[in-house]
């Protein structure tokens, strides 16, 4: 199977992202699934949000705030129509995850990141962190969901 | 958070599905993510395919055949436009997972299910198994991907 040769744990690199000093957490690709999404428009990608044990437990316990140590990994892949599935279904109606695009992380540390709701953020593409200018665009979009501790994604059972 | 009160482990029920006798595997909602998909058309849903340890290891080891004991869980949710995200992005471009629809399982047992490529299958909605007529429609669609052990989903790194 072609994709079976993909790296087991997604992207990995020792380099820390700027500003918040977030590194790619070891083994994040093995974290549990929170939910999925599709961004159309310019990005046109598939997303999956995974959470570490602290993050998943907070959802399941119904906590209003994520405790320090909670980390989200937002994986993304290109949004690809599946010709293979089309042949089976008899019409164009199936979209699958293509090549990975980038991975983003939200790390909760209410002291270290007090100035932005307790969340540090980072984005990596092919293991390389995005620059400071990009990272500064993250937090403002999360402010409207401050009531959910700045987290858009809801747990999908 | 509204969705945080959802059942931690997705659907659960002791009842076995017809024909192949597949039950909902305990803790399947905690399994690792294989990939995601969107089915448009009549279903119009989001999908996530999770795999137990045997299934994930087979992908990562590049095995051509999944060993006995491999199990896939195909979760699905309604495909919902996110008005909340629209307000942030300033345009309609964001789709998220809504209410869960049903969950399907593929269970590899090359002896027990020899007549259908070694795979037993089941579908559950609200914990209740789909009937025999529906289950008989599953395998024929998987025959075109016999070369990948009848599995459509490729691992998304």
Question: Residue ranges of the alpha helices (H) in chain A?
Answer: 53-60, 83-89, 132-135, 138-142
pLDDT tens digits for range A19-55: 999 999 999 999 999 999 999 988 899 999 999 999 9
pLDDT at B140 over 60: yes
pLDDT score for A5: 38
Give residue for tokens 């039950």.
B23
pLDDT tens digits for range A91-138: 778 999 999 999 999 999 999 999 999 999 999 999 999 999 999 999
pLDDT score for A107: 98
Q: Do B35 and A151 touch (CB under 8 A)?
A: no
Residues of B with CB below 8 A from A155's CB? 1, 3-4, 6
Q: Where are the domains of chain B?
A: 28-147
Find out if CATH 3.50.70.20 is the number for domain B28-147.
yes
Q: Please report which helix (H) or strand (E) contains residue B56, including its range.
A: helix B53-60
Number of H helices, E strands in chain B: 4, 6
Residues of A with CB below 8 A from B59's CB? 1, 3-4
Residue A59 in contact with residue B76, Cβ under 8 Å?
no
pLDDT tens digits for range B88-135: 777 778 999 999 999 999 999 999 999 999 999 999 999 999 999 999
Candidate from A29, A94, A155 with C-beta closest to B39: A94
From chain B residues 34-73, the ones with a CB under 8 A of any chain A CB are: 35-41, 43, 46-48, 50, 58-64
Residue A16 in contact with residue A25, Cβ under 8 Å?
no
pTM: 0.91
Question: Mean pLDDT for chain B?
Answer: 90
Which residue would you say has higher pLDDT here, A14 or B74?
Answer: B74
Q: Which residue of A has its CA nearest to B139?
A: A88
Q: Do B157 and A29 touch (CB under 8 A)?
A: yes
Residues of B with CB below 8 A from A75's CB? 156
């Amino acid at each position: 199977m072609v994709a079976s040769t993909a790296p087991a744990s997604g992207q990995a690199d020792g380099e820390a992202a700027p500003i918040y000093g977030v590194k790619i957490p070891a083994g994040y690709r093995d974290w549990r699934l929170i939910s999925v999404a599709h961004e159309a428009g310019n990005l046109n990608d598939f997303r999956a949000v995974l959470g570490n044990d602290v993050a998943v437990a907070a959802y399941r316990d119904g906590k209003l705030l994520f405790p320090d140590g909670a980390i989200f990994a937002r994986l993304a892949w290109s949004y690809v129509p599946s010709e293979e599935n089309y042949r089976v279904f008899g019409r164009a109606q199936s979209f699958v995850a293509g090549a990975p695009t980038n991975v983003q992380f939200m790390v909760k540390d209410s002291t270290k990141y007090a100035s932005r709701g307790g969340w540090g953020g980072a984005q990596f593409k092919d293991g390389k962190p995005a620059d400071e200018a990009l990272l500064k665009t993250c937090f403002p979009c999360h402010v409207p969901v401050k009531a959910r501790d700045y987290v858009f994604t809801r747990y999908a059972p």
